[in-house]
Every structure is written in structure tokens, then in C-alpha cells.
Amino acid sequence: MEQIEVSPDGSTADLHEANLPPVDRGRGAWGFLAACFMIEALIWGFTFSYGIFQDYYSTHEPFKSSGDIAVVGTCAMGISYMLLPLAFIMIQGLPRFKLWAAPLGFLIMCLALAMSSFAKTTTHLIVSQGVAYGIGSSLAYAPTIVFMDDWFVRRKGLAFGIMWAGTGVSGVILPIVLQWLLDSFGHQTALRAWSIILLVMGGPLLYFVRPRLPISRTSRSRPLDFRFLWNSTFMIYETGNILEAMGYFLPTIYLPTYARTLGASGLQATLTVILFNLASVFGCIAMGSMVDRFHATTCILASTVGSTIAVFLIWGFADSLPPLYIFCIFYGLFAGCFTSTWPAIVNDVRKKSAYTDPSIVFGFLSTGRGIGNVVSGPLSEALLKNDAWKGAAAKAYGSGYGPLIVFTGISALLGGFGVVMRSSKISSL
């Protein structure tokens, strides 16, 4: 938050504030938000489109025979989430690093994708397209979260919702582009092309990702407070966050592959990811508006109920492409907005720990999501190997993806753990 130097009569603070760009409005705030939207699209749009690569790698040499292809995507997303607290701590502890974190992160991402284009084994892909890309994306992404607290106050939830909608918008366009690149030129050219696009498009955007307060005035901040980690309110929300994340990413990874089993062509399979991402745009913006007005438990409940119903009642019975597409829309709308509840969670946590830095809370929520994501990779591979339901259950439940569908639904339901426990805690007071 703002660190304003105040003289005894308050005149210095008023003078400094008058010379600063306004919060929640103005060219500076909206320019910053627009840049964050685009950076979100570039970083996470590629990661959330990994299902396209998953489908390609599983049907083309030299990765066709590997059983660990899903680990590449889960590593990229999981590490991106899990390293955010460390990135936030570095930025807050080394204020001058705030301006260099994003450029360094973009450079690492570009190099990681370039290196992955030379990979000959799945292990090489995991290290480059997975681990290295995840490290770079954490550094590149962290300043957008830290500086958001400077630029937006009353409309912070909406601002985060708009920024996070960038993933969905990119996810509508990028799968088509990636599918075309993969089909026309192969994975090596596709990875190198996206590396160049990241460098060319990301560079100019970094000019707008800057703090509202001059670095020299924010360098003398209070020590970071980590006591919230042992606060029961945070632990309740974090538990639900981890449980939800364990299943959330699985549909985006496996939907194109599942669509193939229903006879979908390459473009028809890609459409599953496109519809999910498009729906998540509207879900993120709507949830962003909700968190500025409603309690965190209300927002989480809306996401949990919608996504659980979508998995069990739509995907579970989708034995053709039309109902599968309907599932993609509903799941994107309700599950895709889960992280947009985080501003409300941060506000609830800070009621108990007023001096807690919001970005650090965000960071550890991201870690929880990353843990769930990393666990889901090998777990999903194990679930798919269990074919006990194949041919024995109805509709999609008997397709070989039944255990995966049920696990995803249970995970979505358990995402509401925070609602139940937090509500019971409040009622007991």
C-alpha cells in the first residue's frame, strides 16, 4: 500500500499526493491496467493453451511414446504459481528490483521456449518448457500484482478481474494460432515463433508496468509480516484453494484429447480450449465486480456450485461434441473465475492482520494453487491408467476418462471447503 511521508501538520503528505496520478481512474491507472491485461494474456494464455501441445506431443514423435507429457504443462503452471511468493519477497525486499523483475522474467521465458524447441526427450521439455518457463513467468508477472495495489483501491476487484480476463482472451486466439503453427510447421517452429512474439510484444508493455509511487519513496517500508500464515482464516481459504486446484487444470489439459476420442478434428478439438477460455473472460470480469460488493464466501460458493454441476452433470454425460462444448462454456464461466475471488479473500485475511502485505497473501494463495497443479499432473496420468470403468459405466464416465471426470468434480466441490468452514467459524462467534 501507499507509503506517504507525512509532516506534523500533514502538508507534506497533501503536497506529495497532489503530485501523484489519481487512483482508480485516469490515464496512468487505465494504461497500467491495459498493460497488465496484455501481459496476463501473453504469459498465462500460452500456459493455459498447453492442451494443444499435449495433443500434438502425444501423437507425434519423438514424444509420442512418453507417459509424462502432462507433467510439462503442470510444471509450467505449478512453478509459475509456487514461486510467486519468493518473487514478491524479492521485490519488496529489493525495491529497485521492482523495475527489473519483469524484463528479466520475459528474457528467461523467451530463452526457455527457444531451448525447448531443441528438446528430443520429454525430460528436456519438462526442464525448459516447464520449469524454466515457470521461473521466468513468476518474475515477469509479480510486478503486476504488487503495483495493482498502488493504482486501484475502491475498484481493485474489478481491476483484477479485467486483468485476469486477459488469459481468457488470449486463450481464444492463441489455440488457433498454435494449432496452425503446429500443423503447418511442427513444434520446433511453433515454440521459436512464440518466443519471438513474447519478446516483440512484451518489451513495449513493460514501460507501462511501473509503480504509482516513486521507488525512492517506497524503499523504506515496514518489515514483511508473515503471521497471517498461521491465521485460521487464511488456512481455511488456502485449504479450499489447494483442493480446487488439484482438479481445475485437468479439463484444460485433456479436453482436446478427449474430444479426439469423440471423432473431433484438430480444429474441433481446439475449440474446447477456445470455448473454455472465452467463457472465463466473462466469468473473471463478473466475479471481479462481485468481490467488490460481496463477502469472499459468497463469491467462492457461486464458483463452486457452478463448476461442480458442470463437471458431474454435463461433462460426465457428454458422449458427443455438442454437450462437451456446453460443458466447456459452463466450466470456463464458473471454474475459470475462481482466482478472481482472491481479492475478497485477501480483504478477509487482512481484517485479522492489518499490517499484512496484500501481495504476499496473493503469493501464498498462488503457492497453494501451484501445489494443487503440480500434484494433478502425475495424479491425472495414474487416473487415466485405471480403466476399470471403461465400458462398465454410462456416457463419458465409461469412456476411459471416468475417474478423471469424477476426481475433477470432487475437487471442484471441495473448493467450497473455505465456504463451509469459514461460515461455521463465523456462526460460532
CA gap 319, 418 in Å, rounded? 33
For residue 338, the one-letter residue type is F
- Average pLDDT on 403-422 reads 86
> What percent of the chain clears pLDDT 70, i.e. is strictly above it?
91
Count, in order, helices (H) and strands (E) of the chain: 19, 0
Whether 6 is in a domain gets the answer no
Whether 14 is in a domain gets the answer no
| 38-42, 78-82, 121-125, 220-224: segment of lowest average pLDDT | 220-224
Q: Which of residues 353 and 85 earns the better pLDDT score?
A: 85
- Is pLDDT at 13 greater than 60 in this prediction? no
Whether 399 is in a domain gets the answer yes
Whether 9 is in a domain gets the answer no
For residue 316, the one-letter residue type is G
- Give the pLDDT band (50/70/90) at residue 212: confident
Cell of 75: 510444471
- Give the pLDDT band (50/70/90) at residue 422: low
CATH label of the domain that carries residue 400: 1.20.1250.20
Whether 5 is in a domain gets the answer no
Whether 338 is in a domain gets the answer yes
Provide the number of structural domains found in the chain: 1
Residue with cell 474430444: 259
- Give the pLDDT band (50/70/90) at residue 94: confident
Look at residue 4 in the predicted model and tell me its pLDDT: 38
Asked if 119 contacts 128 with a C-beta cutoff of 8 angstroms, the reply is yes
Q: Is 418 exposed, middle or buried (0-12, 13-18, 19+ CB in 10 A)?
A: buried
CA gap 185, 193 in Å, rounded? 10
- Give the pLDDT band (50/70/90) at residue 358: confident
Whether 362 is in a domain gets the answer yes
pTM: 0.81
Look at residue 36 in the predicted model and tell me its pLDDT: 93
Domain that holds residue 285: 22-428
Whether 403 is in a domain gets the answer yes
Asked if 110 contacts 199 with a C-beta cutoff of 8 angstroms, the reply is yes
CA gap 214, 150 in Å, rounded? 11
> What percent of the chain clears pLDDT 90, i.e. is strictly above it?
36
Phi, psi of 212 (to 5 degrees): -70, -35
